[in-house]
Chain A
Amino acid sequence: MRSIKLQVILGSAAVVAVLGFLLVWAPGANRPSGTGQPLVLYCAAGMNPPVAEIIRDYENQFGVTVAVQYGGSGTLLSNLRVAKTGDLYLAADASFIEIAREQGLIAETIPLATLRPVIAALRGNPRKIQSARDLLREDVRVALGSPDAASIGKQTQTAMTKVGLWENLRQAVQTRGVFKPTVNDIANDIKIGTVDAGVVWDAVARQYPELEIVAPLTDDPDFVMEVMVAVLRSSRQPTEALRFARYLSARDKGLVVFTRHHYTVVEGDVWAREPQILLFSGSVNRPAIESTLNAFEQREGCKLLRVYNGCGILVAQMKAGARPDVYFACDSSFVPPVQDLFLNPMDVSEMEILIAVPKGNPRGIGSLADLAKEGLKLGVANAEQSALGALTERMLEAAGLLRGIMANVRSQTPTGDLLVNQLRAGGLDAVIVYEANLAQVREHLDFVRIDLPGAKAIQPYAIARDSRCRHLAQRLLDAVTSAESQEKYRKAGFRWLYRRDL
């Protein structure tokens, strides 16, 4: 009896041990070849061919292992939400990224390609389908994406509702067609011949040699979907994750492969292991952005070459041929002279210009006009050396006060801080400075607001048209306009202007 018992217990244990050993000793297994943890990428299964190819190149080049979880975009989204691990998420289209963003799962996004809904049929188009209207025909069986599960379905619904065909189409599909959960299911149905036509993304249709795009679903340019890769908040190695995401989205690396797999790609950045951004910034921005820039550099694994200077000087440098990737001006008036170098500038913050006076306002100054009174000792910033000076001069000129006030000016300095110091030392009766110049000394001084439209500087952020790293520069803007950075701006005396949805 002992022998039976031992035989069974030991025998089965030995079987498990041998099988387990065989499992561990897997010669073909994908082992982390690099030093660190593998990167975990959640990838829409339909994107498998180009992504697998790019990963192979990347692993060979950099010795970093990328472990991919393939699945439906929605399934993956649920997965990463529950698992709270992983580094990157590549969804079949941007709608899933949007949901993930709303759920607070996403840190950065980088666009890769664009998708358009098209009507596809078997090659040769046996049913002679010409337009969306033909999908209603009695002799045509149609597969559509389910509007609740697949974003191709949602897009189809919206596009068809817009032209008033949706209700009929829905009924036609309900009676003789089918709603499918993913775009590849639809393409597979057309390929097998279960349906005569279907609405799929153009890139998907082009990947099936058996399929033919017979017509765009709509001519409306609004119906374009982006394919994006996102870096997840759960990533414990965001720099590695971002580096891979940059490789994936580089116009001379990953996007070449996507193009070969029939995707319409975006204009990506040029690949660099450690990219550099040349940043021209007005000195006024420095206290608000410096720590954000440091954090960005560290997270992205990039270099930000910063040039802080008066904006007049920066403009002169650009006129002389300097080509920064990003220009963060002290005031929007310093953009037009170099506008043709840049894409649309985004206004980030604004800074009020006001009159600072000694505590208690002993000279009773109530408005800009009061500064022209005889016998006052004033300080203003130098118009050649600083944006504050140039703005002050322009403002006074517009108010017709330039001559009268300049007569009282006893001190002209390159920065507002120097003026504030002189005021506190007792040498001046009033100075015209930025509100930010008073941030540290509020309790020792009083100020008078200037009720004029010109009494403020607006700081726009502009990305160079032919920068090799426009998307990186865009992420820098995202970092500068994050909630955390807003708080730094507020502390530095700025007012916030940027609206993310604009």
Chain B
Amino acid sequence: MVITDKELWTVIHGMLLGAIFFMAFSGIWVTLFSLHPERTAGVVQRVRGLKIAGWATAIILWLTVFTGTYIVYPWYRAKPPEGADLTQFPRSYLLASPDRAGWHNFGMEWKEHVAWLAPILVTAVAYIISRYGVKLVEEEKIRKAVILVFTIALIAALAAVVFGAFLNKAAPIK
């Protein structure tokens, strides 16, 4: 059983950090919905957990986009030397065939950009949760705004993760 450095980083970037994000997301989402003026029991503990989970999620997302962009992506877009085996150069391999080119032209082009919106949005959400704490229970407009922005962040992250998985199937980084 052998795993290369490149494969290991791809797993850390896509599966480990991505999986932690989605687990944290569901917890944060449910807790945000539970912050209701009629449900005040245990609110201090719930908000304390929300603050930790919010910042942890933001940090995970920043780590995901930085490892993806500055460690994994250079391997993906490396230019092959003359006569090289293109399967070792994912971007060139995909673009070499019209049947595969869409994975780069649509999938990778979307993934590499849209992923960066998620940490920006989740950092704003984490800050608001920290700043307002239990006041979020009374601040209905802010609470609903946070839920919507957090959901948009999930959609952005989901697009990146789904295309990342497909791309790693179509042209794995080895």
Do A and B make up one complex? no
Binding site for B on A (CB under 8 A): none
